[in-house]
Structure formats: C-alpha cells, structure tokens
Structure 1
C-alpha cells in the first residue's frame, strides 16, 4: 500500500515537478495538491495523507501557520521546503517548533534539471518520516516496531566529565532546545553540539538557542576555546573536532566529500575520545541513520559514558537505536528528562 503524500506549494511549476518526482517512486503517491496554507489545512483533514510537503511562503496562509493548525487537528509528518538564507533558516526553525518533522532546501536549479540526487534525497526523506507514523497508527502486531533492549548502567558522572558532546539529526532542533533550556547558566562542563544541518542554517539555529537558553550558545569558529557555560554548535557543511590546547578548543575544518554528514557526530565524538579520554559524556538524540554509533564506540573504548534518547520521544528512532543495538548506551532517557538529568548529575 503506497504512502500518500499531500503537496503544498503556490508555484504551479513546483507543484507539477514535485508531483512528478514523488510519483516516480513505487511506494509514494501524491493524493492532492494545495496552493496555499488554508487549502493545505482543509485537504489534510479530508484526504488524511501519510505525509505532507510544505512550502513556507504562500498567499492566504503561510506554511508555518498551516503546520501549526494541521498538527493541532490531526498530527502528520511534514517536510518543509526552505530557502537557503538566514531568514529562510529562521522560518524553518519556526516551522519545526510548530511541529514540522524535517526540512529540505528549496533549490530551483535542482528541481528544474531533474537531479537524480534530489529525487533520491526526497524519496528517502519522505519514506523515512512517514513510515514510523504509519506503524504507530497500525493496530496489527506485525507492524509494531520494538526497540532493542539496552541494559542501563548507572555510572556516577560527578567530577569525571570534562566535556559534554550531543549529536542529533531529524527532530534535533526541537530536542536540543528541550535539553539545553533546562541547563543553568553556571553549568560546569563545556558543551559541543552536532546537528545535521546545511550551511547558513546553523548560525540562525545557534542564535535562536542563545535567546532561549540560560547558557551561552553560538556557532563554533575555528580556534574557539571550550569553557563551562558555553555550547558551541558545529557549523553546517563543515566538520568540528576537539583539541586539547589550553583548556581545550575546537577546530572547524572543511567538509570532506567522502563523509556523508557535514557535520558528522562520529567525527566529533571520535576526536573527543582521542582528546579527553574517559572524561566525556556523549548524548545521542533523535535522528535518521546511525551517525554517532562508531564515535560512541570509540568513546566507550576510552571509558567514557553514552546516553541516548528513548524510542517513544524520538521523531526518528535511528541514531539512538544504533547505539542501543550495539549495547553502547549507559542510560536511555525520555527527552523531557535529559536536560534535568544533565543539570543534576554534572
């Protein structure tokens, strides 16, 4: 049974191309096209799609308002299309706060030239965010998705953690905000954040977190010193590594085309393991794929601790599942408990 998609865009060109691209996959089927946010709200109710693609700037009702209304009436995975600008990033973050699941850059050139890479990325993204929702709605036992058992190892962290590194992907912007807003201004451990996000988005995201949090949050710059009460966010399109110069600092390096994720949680976790030995706490939050698993393995070999988000509170239980499946997780926590646990135990 195909996954039904509602396309929302005010451009006739994008409506046509998105419908064509989405329907090219045997598991996806466009059931409707809406030209503005108001139509999207009505069609989401009447057509009951499994997933929605949503433009951000439209007449009658904008994309963020439409997301908010749809999620209030009948929650459904929503993939936002965003411009690759600072303002576009801010709007996208508003949409994620309103309940959108994930986002993709709206690239006219890629859509126009029938890019194979764009087709694959869009197909994969829609299938990934729609499938867990469909499984959750299914009443059949065969459709249930069980997390692998992860034995919980309570390790006292007071005085032994010199660096906190948190990695996330899909659902991460909202999850990171939930965790970091619960930390006090005098949080005693430096923090490094790795969120899968394109260039231009991470600056807007760091600025947003800085306004929301008691700690200071900013996009990392090469050579930034690590210090308590400061969280440095890895820039999109680049890699962030940790070095032990002075009290510790970060290196921001160009993204390598051989690495899928830029930034990569594995690379940052791995450098933290090499630099801080057993004195790291790595936290793996919601996200597709398994980035962070190999880095977590390196941290565990050095004697560091790993926490992960539980399945029930994840938007996509991919990255946390990977570390749990490999029995690398010391504690599995629901999202709403992670920030308070960090504040209490560190």
Structure 2
C-alpha cells in the first residue's frame, strides 16, 4: 500500500509540481494539499497522512508554527522545503527544532544535475521519512519520537540518566580525536549528542553532515550556542584544537593536513575523484583523519541514507580505530550505519539516547 502524502505550499504551481512528481512513484500517493499552515493542521487531522511536505513561508500561519502544532496534536513525519539562503537555513533549522525530520531546497536544480535525478531524490527522501512512525513523548508536547528514541532537535540539552558505565569492545584505548558522519536526520542526532558532551572534553571533534553550504554556517552557530564545547564551521588553514568541534562546510570537502606538531584543516572547493559522491564526504574526511591520527580515533556513523562513511571506516578500522554506529530503531534513516555494520566494521551498535554516556565513559 502506498504512503499517503499531504503537500503544503501557498503556490499553486509548486503544489501541483510536487504532487505530479510524487504521484509518479507507485509507493507514494498525494491524498490532499493545503495552502497555509492553518489549513495543513486541519488536513493532517482530517486525512491522517503518512508524511507531509511543508513550505516555510506561507500566509496566515507559517510552516514552522504549523510543524510545532502538528507535533503537539497529531505527529507525522514532515519534510520541509526551503530557500538556500542563510535566512532560509535558520528557518529550516527552526522547523527541525519543532519536529520536522528532513528538508530539501525549493529549487530542484539545486539538488541534482537534471530533472530526472531531482525527481528521484525527492521521492526517495519522502519514502525514507514516511517509514518512521512518530508518537508524542508523554508529558512533552512537541517532542518527536521514533521507536522510543528522540528524533527532534531539542531546545535544551537532554538529561543523561544514570546508568552503569559501558565500555566498547576491546576495553580502554588511547584516543586523539572523535569523528562523526551523518546525513538525513543528522541535525537532530548531532544536537542530541553534542549538547551532552562536557566543556572539558579534551579532543578535537570532526563533524561531517550532508548539508548545503548556507546551512552548515547557520547550523554550526546554533550548535555553538547550545553546547558546552566550541562548535565552528571549518575554515581552510584553521588550526585544530582540543575541545572544538569542526563542522565540514556544505558543498566543499574538509580534510586534515599535519605538519610537524600542528594539524590544520584544508577546505577544498572541488576534487576530481569519482569515489566521493557527496560534498562534504564522510569517506574523504574519515580517510584524511586516518592519515593524521592513525587508529587513535573513535569514529561514529549516525542516521543517513546511502553508504557514505563505510570506506572511511574501513581505513580507520585497519589502523585500529574504534567504530560505532547508531542503531536502526533510533535512526531516521538506517542507511549509512547499516552499510558500516553490514561490512563488519562496527564495534558498537547503540541507540542515540545511549551514545553520549558511552562516549564520555569511553574517552574520558
């Protein structure tokens, strides 16, 4: 049976365009549309869709307010459409903070090289988040929960429940860096994890999130305002320091360059290696981290589509690094972690909720 989709946008042309594309997919069926946030809430309650596509800027009620209200009354997976501007990025992150799971640019030519590829990507992303079945967390209106785990961006760092320390396989280990790669669902997962890391965390952290360039700058600033550690968007030539998280800039590649006793970031605008499909690429950054730190690394692959990160983990693993993946139940999309796990590279397969406490125990 096809997933039921509600399309929300104040533009008649855009609603029709999205509906036509989605209806071509046998696994998707557009069952209705809405022209503003207020009508979207009514249609969600009336039609019970499996997934909603939502514009940000609309009359009467904007998309962010609509997402927040839907999460309170009848949670459903929501994909946002956004402009690729700093303001658009900020608004989209606000929508994800309210409970939306994913986003795409409104200009389809910004996400693919041709029309067919853009249409396939849209359908793929809608199908992926439609498979998540949300429910309200008791006593926490607006929280978005998938399979018992938080999948929303949280306004406040979540409380860490006391639990016995858990060691990764192999016992104690010497570390020099933490590396994290993610894609769809990653903004929520990264905020959930990074806000729990204490301010005295004495390692550099390298973050690779599949995201447009205008979004990574806004996302880094948001994380920095919420976290005890420092979070910045990586810059070319920047000196790597302990206690700082470096977010790879969208649309570029971030690698490490070590000379003498100093390690610096290199941000590359382009490359000619067909192995790396994404900008930024988890594989490319992880392989660079392996060249600099060898096996003294804890690498994590979190929620996301595809297999980016698998080959980078393979190189790290051969050098003795430890590899953790997010489990299927707490992922928005169990693609990237599954690829690493199926390749036999994962030392830990654990929930998002448990990652922070395990990380602190492992690297303290």
| TM-score when normalising by structure 2 | 0.85
Give the superposed CA RMSD: 2.1
Query: How big is the shift at 1:157?
Result: 4.4
Q: Residue in 2 aligned with 1:312? A: 329
Query: How big is the shift at 1:243?
Result: 2.1
- Structure 1: how far apart are the matches of 2:187 and 2:96? 7
TM alignment of 1:78-97, pairs within 5 A: 78-97=78-97
Q: Within the alignment, does 1:285 sit opposite 2:299 as a pair?
A: no
Q: Within the alignment, does 1:235 sit opposite 2:282 as a pair?
A: no
Tell me which moved more, 117-126 or 290-299: 117-126
Q: Residue in 2 aligned with 1:131? A: 131
Tell me which moved more, 229-238 or 66-75: 66-75
TM alignment of 1:71-220, pairs within 5 A: 71-107=71-107, 115-133=115-133, 154-158=169-173, 160-220=174-234
Q: Residue in 2 aligned with 1:52? A: 52
Distance of aligned partners of 1:37 and 1:316 in 2 relative to their CA distance in 1, 3 Å threshold: same
Distance of aligned partners of 1:308 and 1:70 in 2 relative to their CA distance in 1, 3 Å threshold: same
- Structure 2: how far apart are the matches of 1:225 and 1:186? 19
- Structure 1: how far apart are the matches of 2:106 and 2:170? 45
Tell me which moved more, 215-224 or 10-19: 10-19
CA contact (8 A) 1:79 1:101 kept: yes
Q: Within the alignment, does 1:264 sit opposite 2:278 as a pair?
A: no
CA contact (8 A) 1:222 1:251 kept: yes
Q: Residue in 1 aligned with 2:314? A: 297
- Structure 2: how far apart are the matches of 1:314 and 1:120? 22
CA contact (8 A) 2:240 2:263 kept: yes
Unpaired stretches in structure 1, ≥5 consecutive residues: 135-144, 146-151
The size of the alignment, in residue pairs, is: 328
Unpaired stretches in structure 2, ≥5 consecutive residues: 135-146, 148-166
CA contact (8 A) 1:255 1:263 kept: no
| Residues 223-244 of structure 1: CA deviation (Å, up to 9, x unaligned) | 1111111000000000111222
Tell me which moved more, 232-241 or 114-123: 114-123
**Structure 1 segments (4+ residues) deviating >6 Å:** 108-111
| TM-score when normalising by structure 1 | 0.90
